[in-house]
Each structure stands twice: as structure tokens, then as C-alpha cells.
Chain A
Amino acid sequence: MTTTHADYQLSQLDQLEAESIHIFREVAAEFEKPVLMFSGGKDSIVMLRLAEKAFYPAKLPFPLLQVDTGLDFDEVLSTRDNWVDRLGARIHIASVDDAIANGVVIDDGKTSRNRHQIGTLLNAIEENGFTAAFGGGRRDEEKARAKERVYSHRDEFGQWDPKMQRPELWSLYNGRIHAGEHMRIFPLSNWTELDIWHYIDREQIEIPSIYFAHERQVILRDGMWLSLSDAVQPVGNEQVETKMVRFRTVGDKSQTGCVESTASTTAEIIDEIAIARVTERGATRGDDRFSEAAMEDRKKEGYF
């Protein structure tokens, strides 16, 4: 808590924290069955920290939901386990492989794992009857998200209709839904990437080690460094190289690129980001680069 009590000023980071905690409490109070969508990335970990603060000393009044792509980084899974253990939280795992095996999603061999997550996720929300799902989306990430509400209404097909979103005034959130519909909740709407990192730094929050610079065998593909793994093997003229890298976002291994970096602490990452000239998604997410409106399309289908 960093306040100047003399003039009752709250720093911008404390204001963001207070706003997010307010959102968590509103949802917990008004929705029958909320769930926190946990990707293992830094944003969903910050969400977890805020939720922890919102209900302390009680445990989280909702479970976590993770979509297991089958291509997750081990470092991400172990950080997840540490968080779940420490908070005594409940977690549902929805597996893309199971969803494919059960025919819930169809693998045509061409579609990315990230896209298959949509069907898997919607199926898990429907099967468990979740009425509100917290997501770590931020409005500064991408143009299509600048108009996203904190409470984002999804119809019974899990779809987002930009024209049907409700006006959102003051801090009065409207959580009314019909049976079969659900609400996506974005408590980090007003946070920027830099805010997230400053918060991680200030709160000493544990995040997966792949965010920090480390040596890794990588392959340059479409201008992006991909990690050598069972999912990514060199094809054609591609060379395996060893580089000092770190990840700026966490997705599945086949899609998430890393950047060359020597930043090994949160403070160094903050310095690096402050002078970075490319947005985090544009740099390292293959799935956002297919078309200018890629994110908008996936959002309409029910992406995070």
C-alpha cells in the first residue's frame, strides 16, 4: 500500500488494483457460478493475485479453469501448480486432446491449437454451467479490445456481438443474463502491459521462468523465434540456434515466439518494455498475424 496520506492520493497502480478488486467482489456477489480462466501467463497470474486480495483471509469463492492445449510449457504448468497449492484453489482442466477425441472440436490438421481452445473452452463453460468467466484481456493489447466492456455479454453460443454490448457507466456493472448465456469479465481492462510488470515487480509475484532471459534452442520461422520442441522441428533450410531469449506472452509451444533478450529480472524487463517498439502480440503471437482483423474474428467466436 503506497499512499500519501497527507493529501489522500492513491497512485495509479493502487487505483487500478482497487478497481479490479471491486470487480472481483461484484462478480462473486452477483453471479451464481463464476470461474477464473487461467492461462498460466502473467496476466492471469496478476488476476489471481488480485482475487486473492479481494477475498482474503477467505479462499477464492470460485475455481480456476485451464485449457490444456497439450503443448503447454512445463515451466508454466509448474508455476500454476505452485499458485494452486498456495491458495488452496480448485482447478478444472479442460483438455484440447480430450475435446478432439470426444468430437467436441474437429482437428483438420491445419488449424492452430489456439483456435481449438475456443471450442474446448466453450464446451467446458457449458458443461460446468459457469455463468461468469474472468479473463485476463486488457484494452491496450489490440485495437479490437479497446471497445471491450468489463462485463462482456456472450450469447448461448458463447459469441460476442459488438453491437449487443451493454453501455457501462460509473462502476455499476450489469450482470443480468438469461439461462445458457454467460458473461466474460475483464478485471484488467484498464491495465497496460507496463502496469502489469510494475505490479509483478511491486508484489513480488511468481511468474513462469520463461518470461526471464535464458538460453534456449530456437528456430527462426516467419520472422519469429520459436522454441525447439516436440511441436516445433526444423523444416527445409531452418537452422536450430542457441540464443539468449525470453517470452513476452505465454501460449502453446507451436505458436508462441520468444524475443532475444538479456533481461533476467522484473526491473530489467520493465526497462526493456519501456523502450520496446513493437506490441507484445504483434511480436510474438503467430495467431494474431493472419489478418488485420484476426482478433476480432476470434473474439466473436468466443476467444478469451
Chain B
Amino acid sequence: MGTPQTSSDHGQMDLLRFATAGSVDDGKSTLIGRLLLDSKSIFEDQLEAVEASSVSKGYDYTDLALLTDGLRSEREQGITIDVAYRYFATPSRKFIIADTPGHIQYTRNMVTGASTADLGLVLVDARQGLTEQSRRHAVLLSLLRVPHLVLAVNKMDLVDWSEEVYDKIHKEFTTFATKLNIPDLEVIPISALQGDNVVTRSENTPWYSGPTLMHHLENVHVASDRDLVDVRFPVQFVVRPKSDEFHDYRGYAGQVAGGVLKPGDEVVVLPSGMTSKIQGIDLFDQEVAEAFPPMSVTVRLEDDVDVSRGDMIARVNNAPKPSQDIDAMVCWMTNEPLKPRQKLQIKHTTRTARAMVKDIQYRLDVNSLHRDQDTKELGLNEIGRIQLRTTVPLLCDPYSKNRTTGSFILIDEATGVTVGAGMINNAS
């Protein structure tokens, strides 16, 4: 643990992306600072800068939270305004943390950070127990289908390492989580400030038999979270060299979104419905025997069918149905509210179209899970279920089945700003 990786296996390590949720008061920045420090991902000059800064602020201890406060405007206000990405590695894994702030703009940032996460880390203060905020974090992680969740019960030192306190929070959360979609949950008692159960097992919690936080992060199995069954290959770019050497080369470049593609497979190109066979799969100057998510490859087909950006290659008997009517959960991310009949640009996989809001079915209260069916609009940081009609068919799957082919963003046509994030329930 914590030894810098000098060996050549650095490239061979796997990757875990996780999102952290919690406010400054829960000790989130301290915890991240500790993970960085204990995995030796913080350099001398960074630590010195933070130590100097802590002294000048009159603190008695090194404020590890200062390691993660990025922008000067934030430091001046003592708040975090945006998702920040942090990196650390242990000998077995590289980690990307999407660090999301706990207060204003909360939902928008949390949804952004969770969209790419394999695991969500929610912090609660052992003295406070579950709060409205921690429930909201869990709801959002579940909505974004983050497959693994860790509830870190922090500041255990301030409740005398009480097993009772831990059990109560554990039980309360498990009961609440039954209403959500959380396939894998771990509840870990820690002290971020003192390091207990973060990297090293604490002597203060003999009653706790589970893993330390770092052990869990290093070992949680994420490979099986991808869909390796349903072939989905959104075409990004058509590669046509038009050179003497590669005169007739025509390849379809993209990143595999689902399933395993092999040369010889019978495939269908959507939305045209034309069928062909995979002639070869190229990865730079090599031909590969298989392509699976998230590989970026170039696929060649046997027949000269018409394929362009925005099309999707799937299997003949397993393809999404092209659809212009989309039923989705949407998180709204801008001040001007979302209203029925509003027209927006939609980007789904590599396909961009226009969309009109047909209906707002309900607004979801992320604290109570109550569905407000009387709502006429969705405001900033609100989540709701809506129906969209698109100008061209989208080639989509339910988000619960595939996070790549089930997600989209909404763009304001006038400002060009990303105003919404959508997760598809159904397409018909």
C-alpha cells in the first residue's frame, strides 16, 4: 500500500473512477487529502504550499482540504464551485476522483461527476447521522446508475467509536436504499482526520470486520459492470485515406459502447437497416480479433453499404429500435426553466438532432422521492420525467441497460450551453 509504482506494471493496472459526495463539514476534502497523502500522490511542494497556507490562516493543523481547493475565486470565498478531478494510484489500480461540492449547484455537479463513475462515495458525519443531503446523494447516484456505493461514516472518533452509532446509521441507510437501485453497498466506519480505516485498519473498531476504504476501492470488481452482450458501435468518423497505398480503404471509427465485435460477425447498420459482415477491426496499424467496451477501433465491412457519422452498428437480431419518441429522466442545469414545447438540440452517442419537449410528466423530489405530477416546468437543479420528440430517430437503449447508448445531453440552441442531462427510460 502506498508505495510509488516503479515497476512497468503501471500501464497494466486497471482503472476505477469514483465520485465523492458530501460537504466540507462531513470532512470530504480531508478524506480526499488523506487518500492522496497516504498513496503518496502529493508532492513536497504541494504539501509545503498547503502547510504555509494553513499557518497563514492561523490553523493549528495542516488543513488537507486546501489541497483540493483549486481556483483562487473559490479559495477567497472558502467554497468549491465546480467538479474537480483528482488522480492517485496504488500498485494495483489507478483512481480518478470526481470531487463534487456539497452545496450550491449541487445536483448539477453531482450528476456530472456521477455520470462517469463506477463507484460513489457518500460521507456522513457520525454525530449527525443520515441527513437530507446524504439521502439526496444516494438518490442521485442511484439515478445515474453508479453500480457501487460506499457510505463512509466519518468522525467516528467523535462518537467514541460507538458500534451502536454505526449500526444505527447502517440500518437506517439500508432501509432507505431498498427504494433505490444500489446493487452493491459497503458501509465503512472511518476517521478521515486520524486515518482510521481509511488505509490502515483501526484498532478502535474491533467490532468492524469489513474492509478499509482503500482496500475496498482497490478490490471492488468493476469489469462486469459493462454490457458485453449487446453489440453497440456508434460511428464517429469515416476514415478514408484516399492515398495510393490505401486507395480503397474505408473504415468506420468509433468507441465500442456495448458487446463484443469480431470479424465475420453479421451486423446491421442503423437506421438504414442494411446488413453486412465485419471484414476486419483495426486498432491503429494492427488488426484485432475482438473489440469490446471501451475500445476505440475502426471497423471495416465486407459490403459497400452507406454508413456515416451518427449511424450505429449492431447485431442483426439484437439492435435498438430507431425511435423519435423518447421517455427520459432529465436533470435541468440552467436558470431558465425547462417548459413544454421548448425546442432544444439533443446529442445522443454520435448523433445530434433537434428535440421538442412534448410533456413534463412529473418532477422528482430527490429528498422524499415524491413525484409532483402538477409541475409545469423544471427549474435549475431539478429532476423530472419528460417526453421528447426528435427530428430524426435516435438509436438508443434504456439507461438501465447501457449508460452510453441510454444517455444524452440537451443544448440550448441560442447560447450553445449544455442545459440538461438525460437518462432514457424507454423509446417507442
Name A residues whose Cβ lies closer than 8 Å to a Cβ of B.
Answer: 1-2, 5, 7-19, 21-22, 25-26, 28-29, 52-59, 139-140, 143-147, 162-163, 165-172, 174, 176-178, 189-190, 192, 194-195, 198-199, 201-202, 267, 270-271, 274-279, 282-283, 292-293, 296
Contacts and interface: CB of A to CB of B under 8 A. Distances in A.
Contacts of B239: 55-58
Interface stretch (B176-184, B198-206, B281-289, B360-368): B281-289
Contact of A15 (B15, B82, B333, B421): B15
Given A15-B294, A194-B10, A57 B87 contact: no
Contacts of A195: 10-11, 94
B45 A172 contact: no
A147 B71 contact: yes
B15 A12 contact: yes
Contacts of A278: 43-45
What are the 4 A-B residue pairs with the smallest beta carbon separation, nearest first? A176-B416, A13-B11, A12-B15, A282-B45
Contacts of A194: 5, 10, 89
Residue among B11, B49, B292, B345 with most chain A CB within 10 A: B11
Contact of A172 (B46, B70, B83, B408): B408
Contacts of A271: 6
Given A57-B249, A189-B85, A278-B43, A10 B295 contact: yes
Given A8-B260, A147-B70, A18 B409 contact: no
A98 B223 CA distance: 53
B282 to A, nearest CB: 8
Given A15-B15, A190-B87, A277-B44, A163 B223 contact: no
Contacts of B348: 172
B132 interface: no
A172 B43 contact: no
B418 A174 contact: yes
Nearest to A143: B70
A172 B416 contact: no
B417 interface: yes
A86 B49 CA distance: 43
B4 A29 contact: no
Interface of B: 4-6, 8, 10-15, 43-46, 49, 68-73, 81-87, 89, 93-94, 96, 108-109, 111-112, 115-116, 223, 226, 228, 236-237, 239-243, 245-246, 249, 253-255, 260, 282-286, 288-290, 292, 294-296, 298, 309, 333, 345, 347-348, 350, 403-404, 407-409, 411, 416-418, 421
B241 A59 contact: yes
Nearest to A56: B284
Contacts of A190: 85, 87, 96
A24 to B, nearest CB: 9
B280 to A, nearest CB: 12
B296 A144 contact: no
Nearest to B108: A167
Contacts of B255: 18, 21-22, 171
Given A13-B10, A147-B84, A282-B45, 15 more contacts: A2-B11, A8-B223, A8-B226, A21-B255, A22-B236, A25-B237, A29-B237, A52-B284, A54-B253, A56-B282, A58-B240, A167-B111, A176-B411, A189-B85, A278-B43
Contacts of B96: 190
Contacts of A22: 236, 255, 296
A190 B237 CA distance: 23
